[in-house]
Amino acid sequence: MPDTVAVPPQPSIVLRDVSMHFGEKVVLDAVNLTVSPGQFVALVGPSGAGKSTLLRLINGSHRPTGGALTVLGVNPATCGRGELRRLRTRTGFVFQQFGLVGRLSAMENVLMGALGSLRMPRYGVSTYPRALRERAAANLERVGLLEQRYQRCDTLSGGQQQRVAIARTLMQEAELVLADEPVASLDPNASLSVLHTLRKLAAEDGFTVICSLHQVELALEVSDRVVAVRDGSFILDTPTAQTSQEDIRAVYAQAKRA
């Protein structure tokens, strides 16, 4: 038999000279980025640097002013509505304020992550197919919250709510997870627990993570790679093992002097 040549995996994200302007304000200025499947990228930089805008470009909420991007092999800026919906089912989003329905149980909030695969909306845990209920319970167990599955989300701690949000993302079986300041409202211990949970799940399931963070120590502890944004440009892009706290802190210090 002839030798087979291994084909390198397609990048999860490719940005080529991507710019984003809001009127005369330049939020991102001709940035380039390639992210390999399975990488955990910490996106750091001062407030207003363009981190959240970048995440929303990747999930198709914004369309770039210039340049081109590819996400999971698709250009979200040129997708039709149906294709964009399919891309978003492959892309999970973890928000700073959790994005949960507080009056519903943890179990039902997690099940809502599977709504994209169902034809009709569901009301109440018992209305979901048994296979989905079992998968939701398994995902809650993976984030350490199986015992709280029937507890209202607004009675859970902030760290527990964010882990429910991560379990909900697991229901999508996403290939890419975007996390926008997911621990900004949590105390240090809860922040570390949530990020370690996300890192562990990404390693087990092989999905890619782009996580914006302000906490330098956390960025260095959980990521494979650090990308720093300032004034709409990428000024640092290095493997975490080659990045120091001083490297990242310089990004913020220089922004304050500007």
For residue 66, CA distances in Å to 21, 63, 88 come to: 9, 9, 22
pLDDT digits (tens, 9 = 90+) for 231-249: 889 999 999 999 998 888 8
Which residues in the chain are classed under CATH 3.40.50.300? Answer: 8-90+174-258
Per-residue pLDDT band for 79 (boundaries 50, 70, 90) equals confident
Cβ atoms of 55 and 212 within 8 Å: the answer is: yes
The predicted structure's pLDDT at residue 156: 95
Per-residue pLDDT band for 5 (boundaries 50, 70, 90) equals low
Matching CATH number, 8-90+174-258, of 3.30.360.10, 3.40.50.280, 3.40.50.300, 3.40.50.11540: 3.40.50.300
- Average pLDDT of span 4-15: 78
The predicted structure's pLDDT at residue 185: 87
**84 Cβ contact partners less than 8 Å away, ≥ 6 residues apart:** 60, 76
Q: Is the pLDDT of residue 4 over 90?
A: no
Neighbours of 22 (CB within 10 A): 10
- Average pLDDT of span 11-26: 93
Average pLDDT, the chain: 89
Residue 73 token pair: 């092999």
pLDDT digits (tens, 9 = 90+) for 25-43: 999 999 999 999 999 999 9
Give the separation between CA 53 and CA 205, rounded to whole angstroms: 27
Whether pTM exceeds 0.85:
yes
Q: How many residues belong to the chain?
A: 258
Give the separation between CA 39 and CA 155, rounded to whole angstroms: 34
3-state percent breakdown (helix, strand, coil) of the chain, nearest 5? 40, 25, 35
Q: Is the pLDDT of residue 116 over 80?
A: no
Q: Which of 244, 245, 247 is nearest to 236 (CA)?
A: 247
- Average pLDDT of span 64-82: 91
